[in-house]
């Protein structure tokens, strides 16, 4: 039997960021991060990991602002982390472009000048704008390797002995006990924790806290992206097609582009052996390419497929289980878990422990002063 201040169930990007931030905030806490598989082996493993700074609602935009600030500070503090800034071009119909632009947190977002449009066309020679479509240029976006980033956050949190990450440790059940929770593991072990965060990604509805997530209307949706074997120039921007909610992400180091689009297969099983890129997915992806970059369609080779938990309003779901002592569910990232992970983690910690103002102060102090507790 081991006793922790905080247990986090699931070591995807949400669990890893929660562990990192909890450790920054409370270096004296004993924290357990438990995953039944490997670190970053769920939805995080398949992620395109693009951080485009937009949100459809006020809450989402506030989360975006918080997350952008975290990632910029993190990169400044640890320049070796696999996070790179990348310019983007927002493509939308003239009548929709101001609405689309209003969703972005990017003070520099502006209509592309003739010179900028010429530059974009140099990177994507067959980019075609449908009639009456406009392009805006932005710079406040980042791309990372989600697996490397997740592992790096866990490693930094586990730098001293107060934080432990146990892979291959499934949490079967969480029970209330007088001063917190007892976690019952699949291998027979039991641990106790004063507070716990459930961050099990697309398995939110089937594992601990499952009934609570089901009652909140969380569902699982397939998420897919196609690989296009065409080597982009190193400084090519991301193209975001607002109407289709799709983006074309240059991956020059892998000599390919990635087209992320919105697959509409709901309530799928979160098992890679059961998920496929089907003819509908492929034809949807090709229709987007044929519309904007027709010459790329013939280079569309394979792709990547998994799923994510979605909330009803597509905003992340972070809530304390009211019938429980101190148990918080954090997820339903709705296809945006990498870009919103810092804000989700902070909300989860605020709910599971101390007040918002205290969290902000401790977080800002530890990030803003550059004083590292992990060096
Ligand atoms: C193809 C694709 C492209 C994407 N592109 C982007 C993008 O460009 N930008 C973006 O922001 N997001 C993107 N996403 C979404 C993003 O990847 C997810 O929102 C995010 O990874 C979810 O993270 P998570 O930590 O909630 O879940 P996961 O990464 O699934 O982690 C959950 C973890 O919990 C563990 N677990 C489950 N049950 C238990 C249990 N009972 N006990 C212990 N451990 C358990 C699992 O093993 C897993 O490691 C994409 C997703 C996909 C599939």
| pLDDT 10s digits, 143-153 | 999 999 999 99
Q: Does ligand 1 lie within 6 Å of residue 42's CB atom?
A: yes
Q: What pLDDT is attached to residue 272?
A: 94
Distance 136 CA to ligand 1 centre (A): 30
List the residue whose alpha carbon is closest to atom 47 of ligand 1. 37
List the residue whose alpha carbon is closest to atom 12 of ligand 1. 336
Distance 189 CA to ligand 1 centre (A): 25
Looking at domain 87-140+223-310, which CATH architecture does it have? 2-Layer Sandwich (3.30)
Q: What pLDDT is attached to residue 367?
A: 40
The Cα–Cα gap between 163 and 153 comes to: 12
Q: What pLDDT is attached to residue 369?
A: 33
Distance 7 CA to ligand 1 centre (A): 18
Q: What pLDDT is attached to residue 1?
A: 59
With both helix axes pointing from N to C terminus, report the angle between 337-352 and 13-25 in degrees, rounded to the nearest 10.
50
Q: Does ligand 1 lie within 6 Å of residue 281's CB atom?
A: no
pTM of this structure: 0.94
Q: Does ligand 1 lie within 6 Å of residue 119's CB atom?
A: no
Q: Where are the domains of the chain?
A: 2-76+145-218+313-368, 87-140+223-310
Closest CA to 103 of 245, 224, 237, 221: 245
For 2-76+145-218+313-368, CATH number out of 3.40.640.10, 1.10.3720.10, 3.50.50.60, 1.10.357.10 equals 3.50.50.60
List the residue whose alpha carbon is closest to atom 33 of ligand 1. 10
Q: Does ligand 1 lie within 6 Å of residue 308's CB atom?
A: yes
**Ligand 1, closest atom to CA 44?**
21
**Ligand 1, closest atom to CA 335?**
15
The Cα–Cα gap between 53 and 226 comes to: 22
Q: What pLDDT is attached to residue 325?
A: 83
Q: What pLDDT is attached to residue 322?
A: 87
**Ligand 1, closest atom to CA 34?**
43
Contact 14/339 with Cβ under 8 angstroms?
Answer: no
At residue 294, φ and ψ (nearest 5 deg) are -60, -35
Query: pLDDT by residue for the chain (375 residues), tens digit each?
Result: 589 999 999 999 999 999 999 999 999 999 999 999 999 999 999 999 999 999 999 999 999 999 999 999 999 999 999 999 999 999 999 999 999 999 999 999 999 999 999 999 999 999 999 999 999 999 999 999 999 999 999 999 998 889 999 999 999 999 999 989 999 999 999 999 999 999 999 999 999 999 999 999 999 999 999 999 999 999 999 999 999 999 999 999 999 999 999 999 999 999 999 999 999 999 999 999 999 999 999 999 999 999 999 999 999 999 999 888 899 999 999 999 999 999 999 999 999 875 333 444 444 444 433 322 222
Of the chain, the end-to-end C-alpha distance in Å amounts to 30
Q: What pLDDT is attached to residue 161?
A: 87
Closest CA to 337 of 365, 359, 306: 306
Distance 44 CA to ligand 1 centre (A): 4
């Amino acid at each position: 039997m081991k006793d922790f201040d905080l247990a986090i169930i699931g070591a995807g990007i949400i669990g890893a960021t929660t562990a990192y931030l909890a450790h920054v905030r409370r270096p004296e806490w004993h924290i357990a991060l438990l995953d039944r598989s490997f670190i970053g082996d769920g939805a995080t493993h398949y992620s395109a990991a693009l951080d485009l700074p937009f949100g459809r609602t006020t809450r989402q935009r506030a989360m975006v602002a918080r997350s952008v600030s975290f990632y910029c500070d993190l990169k400044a503090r640890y320049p070796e982390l696999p996070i790179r800034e990348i310019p983007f071009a927002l493509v939308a119909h003239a009548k929709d472009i101001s609405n689309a632009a209003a969703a972005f947190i990017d003070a520099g977002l502006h209509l592309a000048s003739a010179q900028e449009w010429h530059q974009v066309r140099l990177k994507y020679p067959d980019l075609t704008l449908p009639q009456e479509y406009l392009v805006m240029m932005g710079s406040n976006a980042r791309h990372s390797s989600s697996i490397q980033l997740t592992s790096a956050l866990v490693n930094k949190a586990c730098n001293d002995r107060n934080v432990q990450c146990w892979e291959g440790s499934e949490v079967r059940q969480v029970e209330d006990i007088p001063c917190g929770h007892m976690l019952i593991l699949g291998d027979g072990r039991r641990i106790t924790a004063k507070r716990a965060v459930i961050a099990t990604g697309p398995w939110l509805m089937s594992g601990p806290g499952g009934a609570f997530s089901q009652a909140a209307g969380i569902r699982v949706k397939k998420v897919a992206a196609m690989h296009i074997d065409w080597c982009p120039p190193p400084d090519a921007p991301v193209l975001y097609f607002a109407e289709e909610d799709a983006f074309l992400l240059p991956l020059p180091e892998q000599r390919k582009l990635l087209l992320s689009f919105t697959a509409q297969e709901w309530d799928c099983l979160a098992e890679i052996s059961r998920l496929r890129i089907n003819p509908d997915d492929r034809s949807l992806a090709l229709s987007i390419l044929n519309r904007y970059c027709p010459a790329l369609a013939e280079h569309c080779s394979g792709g990547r497929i998994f799923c994510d938990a979605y909330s009803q309003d597509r905003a992340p779901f972070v809530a304390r289980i009211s019938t429980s002592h101190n148990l918080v569910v954090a997820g339903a990232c709705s296809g945006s878990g990498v870009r919103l992970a810092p804000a989700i983690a902070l909300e989860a910690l605020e709910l599971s422990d101390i007040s918002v103002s205290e969290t902000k102060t401790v977080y800002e102090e530890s990030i803003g002063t550059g004083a590292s507790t992990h060096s």
